[in-house]
Structure 1
Amino acid sequence: MRVSSDELKLPLPSLADYVHFHRKRLGLTREALGHRAFLSARTIQKLERGEQTGLSQPTQQALGRALGLTSPAEFKHLDDLTRVHIPRPWSPEVVRTEVTAAEQAMLDDLMPSPAAYCNWSWDVIAANDAYEKLFPGRVAAGNVMLWLFGPMGRKVMASWADEIPNDVARMRGIMTHFGNPEPGIQVLRALQDDPDFARLWLTRSVGFDRGVEEPQHVHTEAGPVSVSMQLQSFPAGREFLHLCVAAVRPYRGPSLRTDPI
């Protein structure tokens, strides 16, 4: 079932919202922002009203600098926002919600390494026993973001407060890149009443890939560990299925609480 705009309390990623937010963050009038970006105040007004989205690459770059954007991820996000309303012919035709017997057998063959299949919207659609032990309840929750903001995710993730800002930023980046698809909107609706999620979403921070130098820190029965996920994609049929295999290493992170799982 599609989510109507009336059901959303948080803004979907859009060029209008992004320009307005950063202009207000900088305390600029439309005239001042236009002067910085070599655009008219009327053009800034049209951008903020959603009446104009198409921008040339040089104009995008000038607008991004005028808005105080600095990172490649922010400029990529700005580019995605200019086309967020345009259909993506390369987008997934099918969102996988189950695996074949052969795919499940591959997960089981990877034991004792934790492994799971996820689709492009971070749904965990199958996992082996080691993955379920490492991330208890994640398969039942169905979606990594829903699990992270649920009671089990808050308990299992050893550095939860440090983890979630980057995850919310990546959710924003991925949603926009895929054109605000319905599965992403459904996750946004499910999380919009969580005050921690809402606070982070409203910062408009954006990210994309998790770097190899950014492990997840996880509490286990044997103590905390650091986990790096290795992803292998299967784009056949544009289904964007990812095989996620966890490399579990001794804990290398900040000082933590000591209560066990």
Structure 2
Amino acid sequence: MMDTASPVISRELGDFLRTRRERLTPEQVGLPSTGRRRTPGLRREEVAVLAGVGVTWYTWLEQGRPINVSMQVLVAVGRALRLDDTERQHLRRLAGVRVSPAESAVSDPSLPAAFQPVLDKLDPYPACLQTSLFDVVAYNRAYRFLFTDMDLIPLAERNCAVRFFTDPDWRSRYVDDDIVATRMVAQMRAVVGSDMDTPAAATTVGELRQRSDEFARLWSRHDVMLQRYETKRLDSPLVGLLHLNFVSTSVTGTGHRMTVMTPVDETTSQRLTRMADLARQR
């Protein structure tokens, strides 16, 4: 979706493109060197050729003129300027393109490692790091045994939504599973919005619609919900009933969120401590 860019945004877009252009040399992009240059980096004409767009059009874009920009052209310009994932997303925002949280969940192998010590310190409270589409990428020992032994589930299959709607044993851990089903789909709807072109969203939602009639029905209702705090009852395979507050916070700029589960009552607190003790023995 494109928004009409304000003059300030247009200037920011032009300045961003110029700075990215000036950091490149012809040799870096496979163009012949033409000797000494009055200004650093590539010329506008060279960027236009690399992106397959008109020189006048690209000049207007860099000058911050309010012109319409298609997604295809933005991708071509980003490729010509050798932008990384973060820079491409920034370019799209400056051009008025909505970037969904699902799409901004850039795969960064260092992220789980960076958060693992934080998650470990939260024991005996279960905690995990997951994408906006419920892919679990890191978790602590308490979370490992909350539903099942997460270590036994292949990394590519650690998606809470997929497991909830396709694995009866996983779903049976939720006492109020019908309520959870409705809320989970509404949260996914709010994240994805109408943008189903992102690989992560298309893959996860497509798989769920194919494998679960219930998910397909709930998805077709178009209910949306953004919830950072809720209470759930879980039937732990190790210690029985747990009454937990689920508190989530977004990790800025990553498309991920960290969720921590804290006890609602003293009985749950004692059972979490016992679960942590049992987990250490495994």
- Seen in structure 2, the aligned counterparts of structure 1 residues 90 and 198 have a Cα distance that, compared at 3 Å, is closer
User: Contact (CA 8 Å) 1:118, 1:242: kept in 2 or not?
Assistant: yes
Q: Does 1:163 align with 2:180?
A: yes
Higher relative contact order (CA 8 A, sep 6+): 1
User: Contact (CA 8 Å) 2:119, 2:128: kept in 1 or not?
Assistant: yes
1:17-64 CA-partner distances (Å, limit 9, x unpaired): xxxxxxxxxxxxxxxxxxxxxxxxxxxxxxxxxxxxxxxxxxxxxxxx
- Seen in structure 2, the aligned counterparts of structure 1 residues 177 and 97 have a Cα distance that, compared at 3 Å, is farther
The amino acid that maps onto 1:195 is D
TM-superposed deviation, 1:151: 2.2
Supply the distance in 2 between the matched residues of 1:170 and 1:190 (Cα, whole angstroms). Answer: 17
Higher percent of residues as helix: 2
1:130-167 CA-partner distances (Å, limit 9, x unpaired): 01111325673321211211223221111112210111
Unaligned runs of 5+ in 2: 1-95, 269-282
Match for 2:217 among 188, 192, 199?
A: 199
**Equivalent residue number for residue 258 of structure 2:** 243
Larger radius of gyration: 2
The amino acid that maps onto 2:258 is L
The TM-score, its normalising length taken from structure 1, stands at 0.54
TM-superposed deviation, 1:103: 2.0
TM-superposed deviation, 1:108: 1.4
The amino acid that maps onto 2:125 is S
**Equivalent residue number for residue 187 of structure 1:** 204
Supply the distance in 2 between the matched residues of 1:93 and 1:159 (Cα, whole angstroms). Answer: 29
TM-superposed deviation, 1:223: 2.5
**Equivalent residue number for residue 72 of structure 1:** none
**Equivalent residue number for residue 151 of structure 1:** 168
TM-superposed deviation, 1:183: 0.8
Supply the distance in 2 between the matched residues of 1:148 and 1:93 (Cα, whole angstroms). Answer: 21
- Seen in structure 2, the aligned counterparts of structure 1 residues 114 and 172 have a Cα distance that, compared at 3 Å, is same
**Equivalent residue number for residue 172 of structure 1:** 189
Query: How large is the Cα RMSD of the aligned pairs?
Result: 2.8
Runs of 4+ displaced beyond 3 Å? 95-102, 177-180
TM-superposed deviation, 1:192: 1.1
Supply the distance in 1 between the matched residues of 2:116 and 2:258 (Cα, whole angstroms). Answer: 11
Supply the distance in 1 between the matched residues of 2:186 and 2:136 (Cα, whole angstroms). Answer: 19
Question: Identity rate of aligned residues, in percent?
Answer: 24
Supply the distance in 2 between the matched residues of 1:98 and 1:157 (Cα, whole angstroms). Answer: 32
- Seen in structure 2, the aligned counterparts of structure 1 residues 97 and 152 have a Cα distance that, compared at 3 Å, is farther
**Equivalent residue number for residue 124 of structure 2:** 112
User: Contact (CA 8 Å) 1:217, 1:227: kept in 2 or not?
Assistant: yes
For residues 1-261 of structure 1, the aligned pairs below 5 Å read 87-88=97-98, 92=104, 94-96=106-108, 99-136=111-148, 140=153, 141-149=157-165, 150-176=167-193, 181-193=198-210, 194-210=212-228, 212=229, 214-220=230-236, 221-235=238-252, 238-250=253-265
Supply the distance in 2 between the matched residues of 1:162 and 1:241 (Cα, whole angstroms). Answer: 23
The amino acid that maps onto 2:214 is D
Supply the distance in 2 between the matched residues of 1:128 and 1:190 (Cα, whole angstroms). Answer: 27
TM-superposed deviation, 1:89: 5.0
Supply the distance in 1 between the matched residues of 2:224 and 2:99 (Cα, whole angstroms). Answer: 23
The amino acid that maps onto 1:123 is D
User: Contact (CA 8 Å) 2:105, 2:256: kept in 1 or not?
Assistant: no
1:182-203 CA-partner distances (Å, limit 9, x unpaired): 2111111111131111121222
* Count of residue correspondences: 163
The amino acid that maps onto 2:224 is V
Supply the distance in 2 between the matched residues of 1:131 and 1:179 (Cα, whole angstroms). Answer: 30
The TM-score, its normalising length taken from structure 2, stands at 0.51
